[in-house]
Amino acid sequence: MKGLRLAIGFLTVLPVGAVHPGPMSAARAYFPLVGLGLGGLVAGLDLAASQVLPPAVVGALLVAGLLVLTRALHTEGFLDSCDGLLGGRDRESRLAILRDSHVGAFAVVGGVSLLLLKWTLLVGIPEPERLGLLVLFPCLSRFAMVAAMSVFPYARTQGLGTAFQVGAGWRQFAFALVTAAVAAGLMLGFAGLVLLAIATGVALGLGLWFRRILGGMTGDTYGATNEVAEVAVLLAGLTLIQLTPGIAGAPFW
């Protein structure tokens, strides 16, 4: 299970051993499974904290907990993408800004907006759908990254993201898709599959934009895809719950 260990080591702060440099395409297959584990930890934190704390505080703890569990890896990519994609004037300048470790105005505004959106959405998830959506949204957002990796080329010849392209094939994508689809159906039934389609649509839409202005994906845009997909799944899930009560309360199991 080298691929699973690589995925856990890269996507989380959990101590599973060092992630050695080299091809990591095998890890792609397990991204949704790792996301499912993260979702379980988030749901567990929510259950424990909600016994003694008000919803607003619990929501803040969930946002902070996910940042800690992931070392803010994807959030950093989102911040860099905000600066690079919105601050650059052409492909070369955008790629140069993406490499820059400094934080600009677009990153600050984007980061604040992202965290505020996540906090608001997490606070607003009602019962009985709360558990299912909390477990599922990190899984679907990480499948969105796999979809983007599988469909769109890498914009550079070197970079962290190239490790996920070497030796990649359809088997990793198929395993990730089955994992995400089974999890979606078990947790939220038909609504879960709708959310899976939305996460995939977000990945494809962002990937088309990134390919147009950058020539492909980068490690930072993979992270941005995850963050946008998380917000999209939470927003769409909450909307489905509000518009059609009970739609997410009938899992297949």
Instruction: Quick: pLDDT tens for 133-191.
Output: 999 999 999 999 999 999 998 887 666 656 666 556 788 999 999 999 999 999 999 99
Per the model's pLDDT, the better-predicted residue between 134 and 90 turns out to be 134
Measured at the CA of 25, the angle between CA 21 and CA 225, to 5 degrees, comes to 100
In three-state form (DSSP H/G/I as H, E/B as E, the rest C), the secondary structure along the chain is CHHHHHHHHHHCCCCCCCCCCCCCHHHHCCHHHHHHHHHHHHHHHHHHHCCCCCHHHHHHHHHHHHHHHCCCHHHHHHHHHHHHHHHCCCHHHHHHHHHCCCCCHHHHHHHHHHHHHHHHHHHHCCCCCHHHHHHHHHHHHHHHHHHHHHHCCECCCCCHHHHHCCCCCHHHHHHHHHHHHHHHHHHHHHHHHHHHHHHHHHHHHHHHHHHHHHCCECHHHHHHHHHHHHHHHHHHHHHHHHHCCCCCCCCCC
- Tell me the CB-side half-sphere exposure of residue 114, using CA atoms within 13 A: 26
Q: What type of residue sits at position 215?
A: G
Q: What is the pLDDT of residue 79?
A: 94
Q: What is the pLDDT of residue 253?
A: 45
Tokens 């990134």 found at: 210
Q: What is the pTM of this model?
A: 0.92
CA distance readout (Å), 229 to 15, 141, 149: 26, 5, 14
Instruction: Quick: pLDDT tens for 221-252.
Output: 999 999 999 999 999 999 998 887 666 555 54
Neighbours of 83 (CB within 10 A): 22
Please list, in sequence order, all residues whose beta carbon lies within 8 angstroms of the beta carbon of residue 117, skipping any fewer than 6 positions away.
Answer: 231, 235
Sign of the torsion formed by the C-alpha atoms of 179, 27, 207 and 100:
positive
pLDDT at 85 over 50: yes
**Are the C-beta atoms of 187 and 251 separated by less than 8 Å?**
yes
Instruction: Quick: pLDDT tens for 9-61.
Output: 899 998 875 555 566 778 899 999 999 999 999 999 999 999 999 999 999 99
- Tell me the CB-side half-sphere exposure of residue 87, using CA atoms within 13 A: 22
Q: What is the pLDDT of residue 211?
A: 93
Q: What is the pLDDT of residue 165?
A: 63
Q: What is the pLDDT of residue 134?
A: 97
Instruction: Quick: pLDDT tens for 189-224.
Output: 999 999 999 999 999 999 999 999 998 999 899 999
Residue 167, Ramachandran bin (φ over 0: left; ψ between -120 and 50: alpha; else beta): left
Give the mean pLDDT of the chain. Answer: 89
For the chain, the structural domain boundaries read 2-16+25-243
Instruction: Quick: pLDDT tens for 58-73.
Output: 999 999 999 999 999 9
Q: What is the pLDDT of residue 160?
A: 62
